[in-house]
Amino acid sequence: MLISDSSRSGWNFNLSRLPRAAVWASIALAGCLIPALAPAVGRLYQVREVKPHVFVWVPEDIIEPDADPQYGRAGNAGFVVTSEGVVVVDATNSPYHAREVLYEIREKTDQPVRYLIDTGAAGDEVLGNEVFADLEAQIVSTPAIQGQMRSRAEALAETPGGSAASNHRLRGIHITPPNQTFQGEEEFSLGGQTVRLVAFDPSLHAVAVRLPVARVVFLGDLFQNQYFPRLESRDVRRWIDALRQAESWNAEVYVPGHGDPGGVKEVAEFRHFLEWVTNEVQTRLAEGKSLEQIKQELAFDNYPWHAHELAAHLVEGIYEQLGGGAGKPKAQNPGQ
């Protein structure tokens, strides 16, 4: 059952209070400006229809110098068009890119955006939320993800203006947490499309969005297709278990947080990568090797993936989880 929470941080511009002609004029103007502004931002993207009426917005791999310092790459977004409204999955890393997603939605339909599902709390997934809040969409996720976003908004508010890079770069962004939450699993229908939400282990701060009829799954940042991932605060073993669970859903299309949509094969390949890294770190840690030695030995030359600069951070995070910080490895099976 969805738990209502009407609190919303940031500026809220209610389009319903404007004359209808003014609303459409504003949207049309935004649509005209997007192509003109795109070269200045340096962002290119593609919109792919992975199943009838199910679309994925896939940006190029570009690090934006003026974006959130932690999340300079825009994450994927998705949207499902129905006869009764639109469901959006993730709002990417800025209001600007969220408006690009909205522009693409308006190219397909004039139906209102009813729901935005946040699959995580990372900046590359949620910093465009305010665009859809202004359209009065219900923003849905878990209490843990909602709490993470509120905490970050409060931390930014407490930082004196201009004294931190993140505060400076986020000065035009209003972090907008979910206003409805759920736990476990939740399902709803819109225009004949069934949408099933699955909250993974709470420590992962992750939600999957399943479309059982279309056989599409949005996994957010839990699945990266040929991108090195951020470990964030995730327990790597529980992450691996969550991917195994997702593989069992018999979907045909799995949408990652970064990279091209794939199938169960690509999800399994990414899981195998996490298992391999975890095993390699655990083996070297048991041999008494230092973190620097392990990072040198795991150069990932056989992985010509995007975001290579994140690989060393992944090793560092797994090293700490396996007990490297205390000098003692934890004897556990990485798959458990």
Q: What is the CATH number of the domain that holds 148?
A: 3.60.15.10
Cross-strand pairs, 216: 211, 253
In a domain, 189, yes or no: yes
Q: Look at residue 105 in the predicted model and tell me its pLDDT.
A: 98
Judge whether 288 lies within some domain: no
Residue 31 reports pLDDT greater than 60:
no
Q: How confident is the model at residue 307, as a pLDDT?
A: 96
* Whether pLDDT at 278 is above 60: yes
Say how far apart CA 233 and CA 247 lie, in whole Å.
22
Average pLDDT rounded to a whole number, residues 17-21: 40
Task: Specify the DSSP class assigned to residue 284.
Answer: H
* Side-chain-side CA neighbours of residue 162 (13 Å): 0
Contact 182, 1 (CB under 8 A): yes
- CA distance linking residue 192 with residue 190, whole number of Å: 5
In a domain, 99, yes or no: yes
Q: Which residues pair with 268 in a beta bridge?
A: none
Which of 31-45, 131-145, 238-252 bottoms out in mean pLDDT, i.e. has the lowest? 31-45
Q: Would you state the pLDDT for residue 154?
A: 87
Q: Output the pLDDT for position 172.
A: 76
Tokens of 161: 């203006």
Phi-psi region of 253 (alpha: psi -120 to 50; beta: other; left: phi over 0): beta
Instruction: Report pLDDT for 80.
Output: 98
| CA dihedral over 114, 1, 194, 145, signed as positive or negative | positive
Which pLDDT score is estimated for 167?
Answer: 58
- Residue 130 · residue 10 · CB < 8 Å: yes
Average pLDDT in the 178-195 region?
97
Residues forming beta bridges with residue 180, ordered by sequence position: 4, 140
| Residue 296 within any structural domain of the chain | no
Between 203 and 127, the higher pLDDT residue: 127
Q: What is the pLDDT of residues 50-89, one digit of tens each?
A: 999 999 999 999 998 777 878 999 999 999 999 999 999 9
The whole-number pLDDT of residue 64 equals 87
What's the farthest any 2 CA atoms get from each other in the chain?
A: 70
Instruction: Please indicate, yes or no, if residue 169 is contained in any of the structural domains.
Output: yes
Range picked from 26-30, 301-305, 310-314 for highest mean pLDDT: 310-314
Q: Is 120 left (phi over 0), alpha (psi -120 to 50) or beta?
A: beta
DSSP H/E element including 187: strand 185-190
Give residue 159's pLDDT: 57
Query: Is residue 161 in a domain?
Result: yes
Whole-angstrom Cα distance, residue 274 to residue 272?
A: 5
- Asked if the model's pLDDT at residue 306 lies above 80, the reply is yes
User: Per the structure, how many domains does the chain have?
Assistant: 1
Pick the more confident residue, 186 or 301. 186
| Span 143-180, pLDDT tens digits | 999 999 999 888 877 754 444 555 566 777 899 999 99
Predicted confidence (pLDDT) at residue 122 exceeds the cutoff of 80: yes
* Domain range for 96: 3-263
On whether the CB atoms of residues 212 and 253 are closer than 8 A, the answer is no
- pLDDT value for 315: 97
Tokens of 202: 């709470």
On whether residue 250 sits in a domain, the answer given is yes
pLDDT digit string, tens, across residues 290-305? 999 999 999 898 899 9
Answer whether residue 271 is part of any domain.
no
What backbone torsions phi and psi does residue 139 show, to the nearest 5 degrees? -100, 120
Q: What is the mean pLDDT of the chain?
A: 85
